[in-house]
Structure 1
Amino acid sequence: MAVVALALTEGMLHFELSLAYEVFGSAPVGVTVPWYDVEVCGPDAVRVGRFRLEPDQGLDRLPHADTVIVPGWADVDEDPPAELVDAVRAAHEAGARVASLCTGAFVLAAAALLDGRRATTHWAHTDVLAARHPRVEVDPDVLYVDNGSVLTSAGKAAAMDLCLHLVRLDHGSSVANAVARRLVVPPHRAGGQAQFVAAPVPTRDDHSLAALFPWAIERLDRPLTVEDLARRARMSSRNLGRHFRAVTGTTPLQWLLTQRIRRAQELLETTDDGVDAIATATGMGTATTLRRHFNRTVGVPPDAYRRAFRSRPRTDTGDDRPHRR
């Protein structure tokens, strides 16, 4: 059973802490894979937001964890406590996978874990992170960044995306989707998706494209075009593009491609279908087209993805550092 340690100290944000505990704290109904053992680690009683919490373990427990989660840090104008920084650094040196949520990136940066690496944090604080830690390659336009043994996320909802991404790496997309269904959140948003869209983004299900999305997802095996979507939505292609940008932050074609890649991932994990059959089932047409888009989007070819996620939970961290499991 993999140990997930939530690293706490005075000044942490309760939302990110609660979110991580919800994701890793208990397995969804029907999921039989060995689940995580979550430990809350911190120095004595700590204040998290307006709450006082009694940690299960001290910060010296972090180097014994498989994954260390650092929730958001409330006051980015202050240096995080040295004992927290030292414990997080020691955990990484011991082989733990370390992930920050929101402004928890400031803790990782203080521990020098982000030096020479691409990282992100809440868009409102990316300039501060870049100025204070110039050796960090700060990307303000993504939801999360996966460097293998070190991961960072943007704020609030993006922290959920990163936690689900970790579950996906460990147990595959079907388990991550089950967690998402339990929490009633989208199952997967790619880390490279923009974290901030200037136009208001509807969060309710009664937006203008609510009926179009499931209709299109049920027809991914067909060569859908923007004109097909516009006709179904009863609007012009140009108007559809405006609505898509407002609702999803992306274009109709990019949204369709993302859905096709997701379907391909599920089929690679749950069936023995060949790449040609999956290309047909996802509307990609040919195996060559599927491989090109899949490799560019996911970062590995379909066959490698199947080997990593189908036979057993993923155990590698993406770099040459040994990672305990």
Structure 2
Amino acid sequence: MHQPWPLRARTTTGKIDNLDYVIAMVGHRVSVLALDGVLAFELGMPFMTMGTVGDRYALSVVTPTRQGVTTDSGLRLSAAGALTELAAADTVIVPGYAFDHGIPESVAEALRACHDRSTRVVSLCVGAFALAQSGLLAGRRATTHWSQADRLAREHPDVTVDRGVLYVDEETVLTAAGTAAGIDLCLHLIRKDHGATVANQAARNVVAAPHREGGQAQFIEHHLPAAAGTSLAATRAWALERLGEPLLLRELAAHAHLSQRTFIRRFVAETGLPPMKWLQLARIDHAKQLLEHNGATIDEVARRSGFGTAQNLRTHFAQHCGLTPSAYRNVYAREPARVR
């Protein structure tokens, strides 16, 4: 079961008019480790996503030496912190880099020390090679860019390389596939830490999908209707306004003025999902929103999201999210539920 990553409390003290004060500051420090040849686009991903959700994250860049590194575009990155700053991080993110040259042993030691302290360690794209070289992927599932997956498996046979997913979440160690998948993983981190609403806002800020379908069901799945202008966009929008009703396939097809067979074929072509599967996931999404923002009972959430009964909601919610509606609410709710 996924839980939001713990935030570490830090304090500062001082005096105002001779009165002692202590201010508790709760935040999540993210250190982005830029290795030589770092991919500039991936270097910016954590800042583009996690940096857009207020002061929930404090982000910084760290390089192996004070001399900095050169990015893949030839730009020199010198104004960055040293490896010692990783000791204060809650999450360390390693973007892709010129991995053919390996990493210095000092970097490998620093990453191992982070993992030993239970710091969350994340790689984007071929950044997985740095984690593998440090021993952090031994005995774990991991992914990387599809073009380098075979090489990662060949050079590190103790790693179970999953070639068919956007990212792999092993709780303390997470890896993303090729470049754009880094955005998916950053949004996933926000979602784990702060819930679907905050992650959705971050996705809107960077004009990205809150969740893209991969080869594996991830913890949080959000399925938005396809862009307006597609042939069935109006029907999807119509369905989303009626999630609490017992919608049937024939009703969806009738709204689109199509036979059921033609409707299914076109729906799958536009969304990648059968209509009723898409509808079920849309209802899960709606249930999450109700659990986060509404004080309704579980029975009311079940009715308003179209699952009918609380037991039916619990069954489908657990299948897709890995936890019960009540557990999800306990983690992410913004207001208490009413007592039945």
Gaps of 5+ in 2: 1-26, 219-225, 336-340
1:205 offset after TM fit, Å?
Answer: 4.7
TM-score, with length taken from structure 1: 0.83
For residues 165 and 157 of structure 2, the distance between their equivalents in structure 1, rounded to whole angstroms, comes to 19
Aligned mates of 1:162, 1:290 — CA distance in 2: 27
Matches of 1:107 and 1:272, distance apart in 2: 45
1:204 offset after TM fit, Å? 6.2
Counterpart-to-counterpart distance in 1, 2:233 and 2:216: 20
CA contact (8 A) 1:14 1:48 kept: yes
Taking the TM superposition and a 5 Å limit, the aligned residue runs for 1:1-325 are: 1-27=27-53, 34-42=55-63, 43=65, 44-50=67-73, 51-75=75-99, 77-189=100-212, 193=216, 205-310=228-333
Assess, with a 3 A threshold, how the Cα gap between structure 1 residues 206 and 11 changes in structure 2: closer, same or farther.
farther
Q: Is the 8 A contact 2:36 2:98 kept in 1?
A: no
Shift of 1:7: 0.7
Q: CA deviation at 1:68?
A: 0.8
Deviation at 1:160, TM superposition (A): 1.2
- Alpha-carbon deviations, 1:64-116, whole Å to 9, x = none? 200111112344x4434433333222211122111111222222122221222
Question: Does the CA-based 8 Å contact 2:125-2:182 persist in structure 1?
Answer: yes
- Which range moved further: 14-23 or 215-224? 215-224
Offset, 1:294: 0.9
SS in 2 for 1:151: strand
Which stretch has the larger CA shift, 48-57 or 236-245? 236-245
Mapped partners of 1:217, 1:144: distance in 2: 28
Alpha-carbon contact 2:30-2:89 (below 8 Å) kept: yes
Would the alpha carbon gap of residues 83 and 217 (structure 1) be closer, same or farther in structure 2, given more than 3 Å must change? farther
Identity value in percent: 46
Amino acid at match of 1:255: W
> Does the Cα contact within 8 Å between 2:30 and 2:59 map onto a contact in 1?
yes
CA deviations on 1:120-165 (whole Å, 9 max, x unpaired) are 2223322222222222222222222211111112223321111111
Larger RCO, structures 1/2 (Cα 8 Å, 6+ apart):
1
- 2:319, 2:133 → 1: CA distance? 32
Give the Cα–Cα distance (whole angstroms) in 2 for the partners of residues 192 and 273 of structure 1: 34
Name the counterpart of 2:14: none
Alpha carbons of structure 1 residues 122 and 260: separation in structure 2 relative to 1, 3 Å: farther
CA distance in 1, matches of 2:117, 2:42: 24
SS of the equivalent of 1:152 reads: strand
Give the 3-state SS of the residue equivalent to 2:233 in structure 1. Answer: coil
Closer, same or farther in 2 for the Cα pair 1:234/1:276, shift >3 Å?
A: same
Residue-pair matches, total: 299
Structure 1 unpaired stretches of 5+: 29-33, 196-202, 313-325
Q: Any conservation in 2 of the 1:16–1:159 contact (CA below 8 Å)?
A: yes
Indicate the structure with greater strand content: 2
Give the letter aligned to residue 4 of structure 1.
Answer: V
Q: Is the 8 A contact 1:64 1:94 kept in 2?
A: no
CA contact (8 A) 2:141 2:162 kept: yes
Query: What's the TM-score, normalizing by structure 2?
Result: 0.80
Rg comparison, structure with higher value? 2
Opposite residue 5 of structure 1, the aligned amino acid is S
Pairwise CA RMSD of aligned residues?
A: 2.5
Please identify, of 303-312 and 154-163, the stretch whose mean Cα deviation from structure 2 is larger.
Answer: 303-312
